[in-house]
Structure 1
Amino acid sequence: MRMFRSLALLLALFAPPALADALYQVELVIFRQAGDPVPASQPAPDDWAGGAPSIAGNERTTSLDEAVAKLTPDNGYKVLLHKAWMQTISAVPNSVAVSTGEAHFGHYPVEGTLSMSLNRVTEANLDFWINQFDAHGLLTSSERLKQSARLKNGELTYLDHSNLGVLIKIVPM
């Protein structure tokens, strides 16, 4: 009997963190709204990913294509990034590096990190750079999109940031 109590205590101590780690499909859309770019005071840093692993290899088929199809230049929008991937989310913040477009000396047209953690709600922290390059591929200016949000599973969340917008959706797998 004493052994069962000890076992139950051990399970109670170690099971919650293990059960909190869950696999999610994350889908992210970054788009420009009508208006002029608002450049950051400094261009994107060379270590923009901060050591976060790339989503490459974990990418999945996008599901927000219908919503993204409405973000056309005729409606005053330009989609800058649209990606979906699998990611583990737990109580410990987990960052991934996301980029799109052709690399120029270590920088991409859109590059940044998404960090997520799951306690009672899912917290998302975005830190992205929208970069401009000259004819030689040198980084000339950047816009910074830094935003935090609380996300609900399966619910599309819109974030407004100056003349940039974000759509993000997480779905447990």
Structure 2
Amino acid sequence: MRVFRLIPLLLCLLMPAAFADGLYQIELIVFRQAGEALSSSQLAPDDWAVGATPISSNERTTALNDEAAKLNPGNGYEVLLHKAWAQNLSAVPSAAAVSTGNEQFGHYPVEGSVSLSEQERLVDLEANIWINRFDADGLLSGSERVRQRTRLRLGELTYLDNGSLGLLVKVTQP
């Protein structure tokens, strides 16, 4: 009989850990401010997506369309990537591989990884995005890099500045 009394207590103790991991929707806009593209001192590495899971099977409909529409050439901006996906987050960081455009020899015009972890209603983010240029033969000839690390609040749109490049990120629970 004592065992039956302990079962509810054990369930109460274990349930918060079981529900700590959760499904979140992540939306990312990468954009360029008007002006000349700046090259990084190094090209995007061939293993740019190592350890990251492609978002292709988890893509969702974008919700920040009004914000993306404001980032137009008339306002001095150009949207380079706009993606939304679902991802399970926990205290252990997990990385998603994002890309857009036509692949050329293992590289995309925009490619990179976004690593996220959930920390008590906050989300730690590390973005490592490459904006690539290709020569006439389709070979990588130049890259710009955005590398940012920050802590986000759930449901808030966050702007990350990286010189001529910027990111808008929003993480929500569906």
| Structure-1-length-normalised TM-score | 0.93
Amino acid in the other structure paired with 1:160: D
Amino acid in the other structure paired with 1:41: S
- Counterpart for residue 140 of structure 1: 141
Amino acid in the other structure paired with 1:8: L
SS class of match (1:57): helix
C-alpha deviations, 1:109-145, integer Å up to 9, x for none?
Answer: 0000001001122101100100000011000111110
Amino acid in the other structure paired with 1:169: K
SS class of match (2:53): coil
**Percentage of matched positions with identical amino acids:** 55
C-alpha deviations, 1:131-161, integer Å up to 9, x for none?
Answer: 0000110001111100012111111111111
RMSD: 1.5
1:33-48 aligned within 5 A:
33-48=33-48
How far the C-alpha of 1:10 sits from its partner, in A, is: 6.4
- Counterpart for residue 110 of structure 1: 110
- Counterpart for residue 159 of structure 2: 158
Q: Take 2:74 and 2:11, find their aligned partners in 1: how far apart are those partners?
A: 60
Amino acid in the other structure paired with 2:69: A
Amino acid in the other structure paired with 1:127: N
How far the C-alpha of 1:2 sits from its partner, in A, is: 4.3
- Counterpart for residue 61 of structure 1: 61
Q: Take 1:62 and 1:70, find their aligned partners in 2: how far apart are those partners?
A: 15
SS class of match (1:151): strand
Q: Take 1:11 and 1:131, find their aligned partners in 2: how far apart are those partners?
A: 51
How far the C-alpha of 1:92 sits from its partner, in A, is: 0.7
C-alpha deviations, 1:6-41, integer Å up to 9, x for none?
Answer: 6624652x4333211110111100000123222111
Cα contact 1:17–1:91 (8 A) shared by 2: no
SS class of match (1:19): helix
SS class of match (1:23): strand
C-alpha deviations, 1:57-110, integer Å up to 9, x for none?
Answer: 111111111111111111110000001111111111011100000000000000
Q: Take 1:15 and 1:37, find their aligned partners in 2: how far apart are those partners?
A: 50
Amino acid in the other structure paired with 1:132: R
Query: Are residues 1:101 and 2:94 paired?
Result: no
Cα contact 1:31–1:166 (8 A) shared by 2: yes
Amino acid in the other structure paired with 1:65: N
Please identify, of 155-164 and 35-44, the stretch whose mean Cα deviation from structure 2 is larger: 35-44
How far the C-alpha of 1:48 sits from its partner, in A, is: 0.2
Cα contact 1:28–1:84 (8 A) shared by 2: yes
Aligned residues: 172
- Counterpart for residue 81 of structure 1: 81
Amino acid in the other structure paired with 1:135: A
Q: Take 2:2 and 2:116, find their aligned partners in 1: how far apart are those partners?
A: 40
